[in-house]
Amino acid sequence: MNIPISTSSSLSRRDVLRYAGLGGLGAMLFPMMGHSAAASAVPAGSTVSLRGYQPAYYRFNVGAIEALAVNDGGFAVPVEECPFGVGLPREEVSAVLDDRRIDPGVVQIPFNVLVLRIGGRLVMVDSGCGVHNGAAGGRLVQHLETAGIKASDISAVILTHAHGDHIGGLLAADFKTPVFPNAELYVNRVEYDFWTSEQADLSRMAAPESMRAGMAKGARAALLALDPRWQKVAPGDRILDGIELIPAYGHTPGHMAVLISSGKNQLLHMVDAAHHHAISLRQPDWVLAFDADPEMASRSRRMLFDRADADRLRVFGAHMPFPSLGAIRKSKDGYDYLMEPWSIA
């Protein structure tokens, strides 16, 4: 079928159908051709801008569980300032990016939140940054609304760890008012106890002292602000059907991954065991400035990657490229992240 390109609206519906070859099929292929708006010519000098941020949510299923990946924002840093490979020449980071055909000068870290509909309840894994991380994050609630979900509809939030880009979204600007007023809040008891103690020990962390102090202060204040709503759990606890909490310690002392199961279908949410789809996978033992215990974090990272590879699991990550769905395969150079194709279903 060869439809001539028309620079004006002179191509009538009948012409289109004729070129399409079949009346019935043509009507299916060009259902809008009878409408005057669609039939009008593209304006020569459009003032519509293509600039602006990317609104993003993505629906998918894990067996019978409906799921939604929601982007909360993200940030990009020059490779010189990126948190990967602390102590190594920046050229080594650039080389990993370049090998993957990614701009070798910039590292992008998106923030993604997973929403699940389990037994009629809306369960969210983490809460994004809220208004507490500058312009980088805070789009979660707006994007939920775009997807038809109000903050008050959320029944439960599983907090995987108490870093600002995961806990910040729970609290409004006054640091008091809950953003998800009807949500049960789950946290690993180990995580809660670590940050709410007077002196969280971050001495193994490679980040500058000012960042460590800010992190400790923010996590403690946010956790305490939501007392007594926390339900303190341990990995292995069955908190909801289809949800298994997996210890993935090191990024923080109580950092958890989440395995979602429905029938034969599974999704492994690695959360912050990986912060970049190229760097974390190719160099799983590099020190990440955000890890409280880099060696333990590296072991947890490999444990999850190996499991994902061995069981051919579908994976999700808080900082993988949106919509954050993929798979992991062992390679001679470490691991490869295989992005899942966008689905129209």
Binding site for Zn ion (CB under 5 A): 165, 272, 318
Distance of alpha carbon 167 from alpha carbon 159, whole angstroms: 7
Distance of closest approach, residue 136 Cβ to Zn ion, in angstroms: 11
Q: Which is nearer to Zn ion, 181 or 208 (CB)?
A: 208
Distance of closest approach, residue 310 Cβ to Zn ion, in angstroms: 25
Q: Which is nearer to Zn ion, 163 or 314 (CB)?
A: 163
* DSSP H or E stretch at residue 69: strand 65-78
Q: Which is nearer to Zn ion, 260 or 318 (CB)?
A: 318
Q: Which is nearer to Zn ion, 272 or 336 (CB)?
A: 272
Question: How many residues are listed for the chain in this entry?
Answer: 345
Distance of closest approach, residue 41 Cβ to Zn ion, in angstroms: 48
Distance of alpha carbon 117 from alpha carbon 217, whole angstroms: 33
Distance of closest approach, residue 222 Cβ to Zn ion, in angstroms: 14
- Residue showing tokens 């789809």: 277
Who contacts 187 (Cβ-Cβ below 8 Å, separation ≥6)? 159, 162, 223, 230, 231, 232, 233, 254
Q: Which is nearer to Zn ion, 205 or 318 (CB)?
A: 318
Q: Which is nearer to Zn ion, 26 or 137 (CB)?
A: 137
CA dist 15 → 1, 224, 242 (Å): 13, 69, 54
Distance of closest approach, residue 271 Cβ to Zn ion, in angstroms: 7
Q: Which is nearer to Zn ion, 169 or 242 (CB)?
A: 169
Distance of alpha carbon 285 from alpha carbon 319, whole angstroms: 18
Distance of alpha carbon 220 from alpha carbon 233, whole angstroms: 18
* DSSP H or E stretch at residue 164: helix 164-167
Q: Walk across the sheet containing 57-62 and list its strands.
A: 57-62, 65-78, 106-118, 121-125, 156-159, 184-188, 230-233
Report the greatest alpha carbon distance in the chain: 77
- Compute the radius of gyration of the chain from its Cα atoms: 23
Distance of closest approach, residue 169 Cβ to Zn ion, in angstroms: 12
Distance of closest approach, residue 275 Cβ to Zn ion, in angstroms: 7
Say if residues 179 and 171 touch (Cβ distance below 8 Å).
yes
Say if residues 130 and 159 touch (Cβ distance below 8 Å).
no
Q: Give the strand pairing for 256-262 and 243-247.
A: antiparallel
Distance of closest approach, residue 194 Cβ to Zn ion, in angstroms: 16
Two tokens at 241? 């059907």
Distance of closest approach, residue 192 Cβ to Zn ion, in angstroms: 17
- Which residue lies nearest Zn ion, judged by its C-beta? 272
Q: Which is nearer to Zn ion, 272 or 291 (CB)?
A: 272
Q: Which is nearer to Zn ion, 72 or 244 (CB)?
A: 72
Two tokens at 94? 């650039």
